Amino acid sequence: MDEILDLLIIGAGPAGLSAADAAAREGLSYLVIEKGTIANTIRQYPVGRTLFSTPNELEMREGALQPIREKPTREELLSHYIHFVLDNDLRINTGEEVFDVERSDAEGFVLRTRSVRARDHEKTYRARTILFAIGAMEHPRWLNVPGEDLPKVHHRFVEPYAYIRKDALVVGGGNSAAEAALFLSEEGVRTTMAIWRDDWENRDPKAGAMKHWVRSPLEREIAEGRLRVILYKHIDEVTAREVTLTTETGEKRTIPNDVVFVLVGSDADLTLLKKLGVQTAPGKLTEVPVYDSETFETNVPGIYVAGHFTNARHIKAAIDVPRKIVPLIAQSLRTTVGV
């Protein structure tokens, strides 16, 4: 395309939507490219999930998110973000994946995309600056044990209803694993949760402890005999009907099951950032790009980052950061190219 965009935003989650809104307010020419759907990460949350955060930490405009209860559900938040896009007529291409990006010899960057549905349908874009708002759920982490590639093993949990009166094993120690085990148990699935002792005994929210409103009903399910918890050391093998694990005491145990959920976290896809030469470093949980703490610009001029795959991991930060840095991007462009 002949147009040179001032800002191309990769990702239409809370950070990408906030950046698009800020870019429109600054009068920048912009476009959001999203290979999934609007708020795709939220859409991958379990059906009916209640968010941990209050409306003021999630909403795009003050007072705009009004859930029926104290905290919004997945569906209420999805509707809020979608209507924010519609009401503000934000420029977003969904179902389109950026597969290559490089610095142009002339001005800015050249990006190539393809349609998720028609892989041979490609487009080329030029942009002066790029904001990566790609989220951190692209690559679910694997245990890398024999049998983990069997069809009964899943690395994301959506809903319990296909597994009623069946045996399920949930492996993991964070909120996602705890919620999955709780939802399964509450809906009549014979559920076992395998968790490390450090995770089970962790009560510090800042250290990733499961939220108390998840732990309390989880412990009730345990007390009433519907949910079993095993403190394990490692998973040994998955077979068609069983999982063999080693407990923290070194005992070998075989757990019969029909389905296994391995929910031990996920990582962002940093491939394109690294291709551009962006430096990365170990973060609290995973590898993150290196960026300026004020501008969120990386070591590659014109490449910015925001959202859950940075060190500003909360949704509120994902919304607030673009409101801070997009005006700085606009100011820089006005100075250098007279935008």
Tell me the pLDDT of the chain (339 aa) as tens digits: 568 999 999 999 999 999 999 999 999 999 999 999 999 999 989 998 888 788 999 999 999 999 998 889 999 999 999 999 999 999 999 999 999 999 987 679 999 999 998 878 999 999 999 999 998 888 999 999 999 999 999 999 999 999 999 999 999 998 899 999 999 999 999 999 999 999 999 888 767 778 888 889 999 999 999 999 999 999 999 999 999 999 999 999 999 999 999 999 999 999 999 999 999 998 777 899 999 999 999 999 999 999 999 988 789 999 999 999 999 999 999 988 766
Cα atoms in the Cβ-side hemisphere of radius 13 Å centred on 242: 9
Residues 310 and 303 sit within 8 Å (Cβ to Cβ):
no
The predicted pLDDT at position 335 comes to 87
Closest CA to 89 of 36, 17, 37, 39: 17
Question: Quick one: three-class SS letters along the chain?
Answer: CCCEEEEEEECCCHHHHHHHHHHHHHCCCEEEEECCCCCHHHHCCCCCCECCCCHHHHCCCCCCCCCCCCCCEHHHHHHHHHHHHHHHCCCEEECEEEEEEEECCCCCEEEEEEECCCCCCEEEEEEEEEEECCCCCCEECCCCCCCCCCCCEECCCCCCHHHCCCEEEEECCCHHHHHHHHHHHHCCCEEEEEECHHHHHCCCHHHCCCCHHHHHHHHHHHHCCCEEEEEEEEEEEECCCEEEEEECCCCEEEEECCEEEECCCEECCCHHHHHCCCCEEECCCCEEECECCCCCEECCCCEEECCCCCCCCCHHHHHHHHHHHHHHHHHHHHHHCCC
